[in-house]
Amino acid sequence: MARLLLSLLLILPIFGADPNLSRTLKAVEDRYNRAKTLQVVFEETYTVNGKPRKAESGDLYLRKPGRMRWDYKAPAGKLFLSDGKEVYLYTPSDNSAEKMKLKESDDMRAPLAFLLGKLEFEKEFQNFQTTQSDGGSLKITATPKSDRLPYREVDFFVTPEYRISKLNITGQDSSVLTFVLSNEQVNPPLDDKIFRFALPAGATLKDASK
């Protein structure tokens, strides 16, 4: 399930067809494109063949350009990190890490990476559809313009404050990766060193970046 690259359906054939949707997407873009750093609490659920696996959770740190750190509390010690060039996944259960090129990774976390990139919905997505969800959020569903990505549909749940509170990412294999995001902090002070990977003592490293 782990690998990385970056990144809202058929009712709206043209992006600007719904002025309310256009305003909402522009407000979301402004919120995240102005951010230099971001910190959120996440809960992650992966569902295959309709059967959800055990939920995982922790803290996510993002910094422009292209740096991410997923510190897992459940399972404790798991780490997923991007330093802007390479991506690392450390699994404490077998004390091993995997390294790969950022551009070559196909991890399903990709739709979260754009939160601190140049967020342009019209450039990346098409076929927008909206519905109201429970809790007052607007659910925006879309398909990526590229058919070379590991996912074929994304649901963005946007609060009245234009914060992305949840994502459902449907893979090409119909699996669904869900992220629930809370306690968002925009532009917190983050030390660059937290985006540098250090191999834990005794751990093995599989380098797929060569």
Please write the tens of the pLDDT for every residue from 42-59: 999 999 988 888 899 999
Left (φ > 0), alpha (ψ -120 to 50) or beta: where does 49 sit?
left
**For residue 189, cis peptide bond before it (omega within 30 degrees of 0):** no
Give pLDDT, residue 18: 65
According to the CATH classification, is domain 15-196 in 2.50.20.10? yes
The alpha carbon of 4 is separated from its chain's Cα centroid by a whole number of angstroms, namely 10
Instruction: List the domain boundaries for the chain.
Output: 15-196
pTM of the complete model: 0.83
User: Pairing state of beta strands 96-101 and 204-207?
Assistant: parallel
When pLDDT is cut at 50, 70 and 90, the band that residue 105 belongs to is low
Which residues on adjacent β-strands are paired with residue 86? 101
- What CA–CA distance (Å, rounded) separates 78 from 57? 10
Which residues make Cβ contacts (< 8 Å) with residue 173, sequence separation at least 6? 48
**Least confidently predicted of 71-75, 76-80, 105-109, 123-127:** 105-109
